Structure 1
Amino acid sequence: MHRLFRPKLNCGFPEVLVSILLPVFNASRHLPLALGSLQLQSHDELEIIAIDDGSTDGSAGILRRAAASDTRIRVVERENRGLIHTLNEGLDLARGDFIARMDADDIAYRERISTQLAAFAAEPGLAMCGTHFDTIVPRGAALPQSKPDVTESRELRVLSRFCTILRHPTVMFRRSAIPDGELRYDPAYPCAEDFELFNRIAEICPVRQLEAPLLAYRLHPDSVSVTRAATLRATHVRFLEENLARHYPEAAGTGFTALAAQVTPDAISAAADLLRRLDALLPHQPPEDRRAFTIGQRVTLYFLYAWLVDLQEFSAARHFVEASGKQGMFRRSERAVLGLVGSQPALARGLWSALVARGEIIGALQNRKLTSVVPDIGAIERQAATLTMGAPPAVSSEGA
């Protein structure tokens, strides 16, 4: 038996097995904390399915040590096949009706699994439940606390047509509440597989986001959102256009997805046209959908704007903001900088760099210490330390 025992909480399903899917790829730096946080969950009936997707660092050794000391950890080691294949493989291996996601660089809070199980117990038809989260930035600090914009099923369904509604590593599914064949990641949507899956489930099943942060989500330069940003953006806009055609056809067909290939005046005009069409549709939405629809518009605006700014396409960003009529959605300082793009581009770029630096300084002053954010961080660190010592024992290449 595994060596970690804790009293079980009254979560509604005290004896139920929860399968946790943990894809691993070159995650040795943060993997011990992630594993340690899962091993110390207050809900004890777990299987942790850790699939090493062809790592070339020390991840495999860490997983072997963890499995040797805790029989709840099942390790699969193989060549690299990519995240979507790995997630679907994990779904096939999962024995529990409840299936939770976790990333190898994040930290689950001790009550995460118990709290999500309690939400499923309170709502028997619930199919998918995410949680709010704290965000870890480099140098071990956490961003200021926030609250989720949307938590209820109907609003989440509307918002899921515009963006990914839940942070992927916080999600738990109840397989028996989801129609056969639907709990599957689609390889046609690389880097946005969660956007597509969550939308598909939200359209046909009850879903929920819990307001309490139950996970620390780590931002770092090696994350997919950074290393595969171009693929993520292209897939995102393609799926967004598919949803517009399906649910809001009057807003579809502008051609804004051409931005994925090249930033051109026509593509920028098409993106602005999309925002104007969504504005025209807002009054015609059911009253109970309008708040989520408005949030979806705002997310789309900022997504496209941030895309252009990240590419240093300041002139295009200015045209997009002005043509969409959304100047009022941006800070005065940003509008002033964009206003200089045409006449003094060098000055505009310098001022933009200064704005970014100022924001980073202010943000750093507002950040919280990780020790004050993550419950039981000391116990998690001590558990993690046991996974980084000694030689890795041998395990089967196909896991336990």
Structure 2
Amino acid sequence: MPPPVVTVLLPARNAERTVARAVESLLGGTLREIRVLAVDDGSTDGTREVLRGLAARDSRVAVLDGGGRGLVAALNLALAHATSPYVARMDADDEALPRRLEASVAALEADPGLGGVGTGVEMFREDQPVSPSMRDYATWLNGLTTPERLHRERFVESPICHPSVCLRREAVVAAGGWAHGDFPEDYHLWLKLIEAGLRMHNLPEVLLRWRDSSGRLTRTDPRYAHKRFIWVKAHYLARSPEVAGRPLTVWGTGPGGLVLTRFLLAEGARVERFIDVHPRKVGTRIHGIPVEPPESLGAPREDTHLVAAVGVRGIREEIRGALTALGWVEGVHFTCAA
């Protein structure tokens, strides 16, 4: 068997119903030089037996024992066993389309400055329609098809679907792998790689069928709570070249904007004022910080930065339009973080 070009890290726990289809979708892909490291992470159903059967039929599959220590430990265990130049992710209930790995590797080999690529995704579930919020999220992800666009949007939400990603193994190892902590490990890794100077984007082609379900970790694990996503944003936003060392204006005094501000302050940032359109808030102070209307902004200043933190649907584009009309340049004078 030729050495693998890409190693797929596939943790599985109690996934006997779906894991065979997930692995087979990878094995049947157009890129044949792959290895699938399936980590049985403490399953109590027939997952281990399904994985062993797959390994017996195809030498490209190997089964590791994760010991039930959780997703991050399972990923780092598989990463430690990978030797290929690229590592890809896959969840045990998703389905890769045939060109997924071939297209991802081709993109990385064509651009040495890329740290990783995701792919376009199609969300599905079998019991009910996918929620409108998840459909909107997938649409947003599928539009981040250039490094410039993804970099601009990196603080809005996690900009890459984790099970769609393919990464340079050396870059992930240099970053310390997936980090343990009270935060979403994928978003943390994307921002860490970008902070290190690596570029990322999503391929425009839909190459992963991404399952939505009521039991997915993003809905059940407190590490993926909205507040923990905001903490990751604040941690890396405060250190970003756009923001570091500059006094900040935060546009938005809703719950998300106030949580982001609290975390930014904890990271050592200095917030000078809020911007809000609500007449009852304008002219007041929140945590000692004055609230002013958008009309007070005027022309941009090079020594300050504005963070747009309004999460209401459609408002981000309105804020972008208003600031652009005043001569503000995104990534220079302002950053969207909701």
> TM-score by structure 1 length?
0.60
1:187-238 deviation per Cα after TM superposition (whole angstroms, max 9, x unaligned): 1243x11111001112311212111100000001110122125753232121
1:36 is matched with which residue?
Answer: 24
1:186 is matched with which residue?
Answer: 179
Q: 1:70 is matched with which residue: 54, 58, 65? A: 58
Equivalent pair of 2:40/2:65 in contact (CA under 8 Å): yes
1:167 is matched with which residue?
Answer: 161
Q: How many angstroms apart in 2 are the aligned matches of 1:122 and 1:83?
A: 31
**What is the SS of the residue equivalent to 1:220?**
coil
Number of aligned pairs?
279
1:150 is matched with which residue?
Answer: 144
2:99 is matched with which residue?
Answer: 111
Greater share of helix residues, 1 or 2? 1
- CA change 1:277–1:112 in 2 (3 A) is farther
Equivalent pair of 1:160/1:202 in contact (CA under 8 Å): no
2:216 is matched with which residue?
Answer: 223
Q: 1:202 is matched with which residue: 188, 194, 198? A: 194
Equivalent pair of 1:106/1:215 in contact (CA under 8 Å): yes
1:250 is matched with which residue?
Answer: 248
Say what the alpha-carbon RMSD is for the aligned residues.
4.1
Q: How many angstroms apart in 2 are the aligned matches of 1:60 and 1:279?
A: 62
Equivalent pair of 2:51/2:63 in contact (CA under 8 Å): yes
**What is the SS of the residue equivalent to 1:41?**
coil
- CA change 1:76–1:123 in 2 (3 A) is same
What are the residue-to-residue correspondences of 1:207-286 with 2, within 5 Å? 207-228=200-221, 231-247=224-240, 248=243, 250-251=248-249, 255-256=258-259, 284=300
Q: How many angstroms apart in 2 are the aligned matches of 1:209 and 1:282?
A: 35
Counterpart residue identity of residue 20, structure 2: P
- CA change 1:125–1:275 in 2 (3 A) is farther
Equivalent pair of 2:227/2:259 in contact (CA under 8 Å): no
Q: How many angstroms apart in 2 are the aligned matches of 1:75 and 1:49?
A: 6
Q: 1:86 is matched with which residue: 74, 78, 103? A: 74
**What is the SS of the residue equivalent to 1:154?**
helix
Identity %: 26
Q: 2:88 is matched with which residue: 89, 100, 104? A: 100
Q: Give the C-alpha shift of residue 281 in structure 1.
A: 8.7
**What is the SS of the residue equivalent to 1:301?**
coil
- CA change 1:256–1:198 in 2 (3 A) is same
Greater share of strand residues, 1 or 2? 2
> TM-score by structure 2 length?
0.70
Specify every segment of 5 or more residues in structure 2 that has no aligned partner in the other structure, as ranges. Answer: 264-280, 320-338
**What is the SS of the residue equivalent to 2:239?**
helix
Q: Give the C-alpha shift of residue 127 in structure 1.
A: 1.5
* More RCO (CA 8 Å, sep 6+): 1
Q: Give the C-alpha shift of residue 58 in structure 1.
A: 1.4
Moved over 3 A (4+): 139-147, 251-255, 257-260, 273-286
Q: How many angstroms apart in 2 are the aligned matches of 1:54 and 1:78?
A: 6
Q: How many angstroms apart in 1 are the aligned matches of 2:296 and 2:7?
A: 45
Equivalent pair of 1:275/1:297 in contact (CA under 8 Å): no
Counterpart residue identity of residue 26, structure 1: N
Q: How many angstroms apart in 2 are the aligned matches of 1:243 and 1:79?
A: 32
What are the residue-to-residue correspondences of 1:1-80 with 2, within 5 Å? 17-80=5-68
Counterpart residue identity of residue 172, structure 1: C
Q: Give the C-alpha shift of residue 16 in structure 1.
A: 5.3
Q: How many angstroms apart in 2 are the aligned matches of 1:175 and 1:28?
A: 28
Equivalent pair of 1:135/1:216 in contact (CA under 8 Å): yes
- CA change 1:69–1:270 in 2 (3 A) is farther
**What is the SS of the residue equivalent to 1:62?**
helix
